[in-house]
Amino acid sequence: MRYLVLSDVHANTDALDAALGVAATAVYDRVLVLGDLVGYGGDPNGAVNRVRQLDPLATIRGNHDRVASGIDSAENFNPAARNAAMWTRSAIDADNLAYLAQLPEGPLQVDDLVEICHGTPLDEDAYVFDSLDAIRSLNDASRPVCLFGHTHSPLALYVEGRELAYERTDHGTVFALRDCARYLINGGSIGQPRDSDPRAAFVIVDTGARTVEFFRVPYDVAAAQERIRRAGLPESLAARLALGR
């Protein structure tokens, strides 16, 4: 099975469309979505509609999905994120709002090899920022490969025995999954990368070949910025797209 893994779309349909165009040529069987379909960006209905049309095998919620759908408050968000969440709640249609509200919390076991979560297997809102966070997440994972999002930065590491090692995550990197290792993999963000590379990021995980491939896709950043500005959202949300921060 070849899984196209999408995370942190954040209502950026310009990035999502570009990524899906490249993913189609790479060929995949099913889609896994790791949360935060909305928030920050200016096209929440377009983002949710496109994800739903993909008929994902599994989709879990992110913190922005919870807040935008009204099942959680925005008290922990910074002002720009809070502004975007409240605007999203008013701009998105009722059917898509209901869809976001019913998305399940991770972690979710996809098959015998793969599980998905938004933050970590233990806490959907927690971030993996360093090796200690990673080790804790690996200890909480129930499958050999744990796919996660939330940080908006690609990451691939594994534990084999007592060794913690990292794999490269730049565009075009393909690595083989080791038989006796446990992996923690973040394919990066579709709609708002934060690793100083503005290109949309995703991975394809091939469970048959036991490989992971990383992709970066350029898209029309100016068009995505204009959607944000037309929505009346904070300028900072538009500016950061060009910086990949």
Looking up residue 96, the CATH number of its domain turns out to be 3.60.21.10
Residue 226: count of CB within 10 angstroms of its CB: 14
Q: What is the pLDDT along the chain (245 residues), one digit of tens a residue?
A: 999 999 999 999 999 999 999 999 999 999 999 999 999 999 999 999 999 999 999 999 999 999 999 999 999 899 999 999 999 999 999 999 999 999 999 999 999 999 999 999 999 999 999 889 999 999 999 999 999 999 999 999 999 988 899 999 999 999 999 999 999 999 999 999 999 999 999 999 999 999 999 999 999 999 999 999 999 999 999 999 999 99
Q: Which residue shows structure tokens 């990524």?
A: 19
- 36 vs 40: CA distance, rounded Å: 10
The DSSP call for residue 107 is P
Q: How far apart (Å, rounded) are the C-alpha atoms in residues 222 and 226? A: 6
**Is the dihedral angle over the CA atoms 113, 116, 152, 41 positive or is it negative?**
positive
Integer angstrom CA distances of residue 170 from 87, 117, 144, 182, 187: 34, 22, 22, 21, 10
Domain extent, residue 36, equals 2-243
User: Total structural domains in the chain?
Assistant: 1
CB 150 within 8 A of CB 62: yes
Is residue 205 a contact partner of residue 2, using CB atoms and an 8 Å limit?
yes
Q: Residue 188: which of 151, 146, 163 has the closest Cα?
A: 151
CB 9 within 8 A of CB 96: no
What is the structure's pLDDT at 162?
85
CA distances from 5 to 30, 149, 237 (A): 9, 10, 24
Residue 225 is inside which H or E element, if any? helix 221-230
Q: How many residues does the chain have?
A: 245
Give the pLDDT of residue 230: 97
Residue 188 near residue 151, CB atoms below 8 Å: no
Residue holding tokens 């709640």? 89
Hey, is 125 helix, strand or coil? coil
Sign of CA dihedral 120, 126, 127, 130: negative
Q: Which pLDDT score, from 0 to 100, does residue 163 have?
A: 87
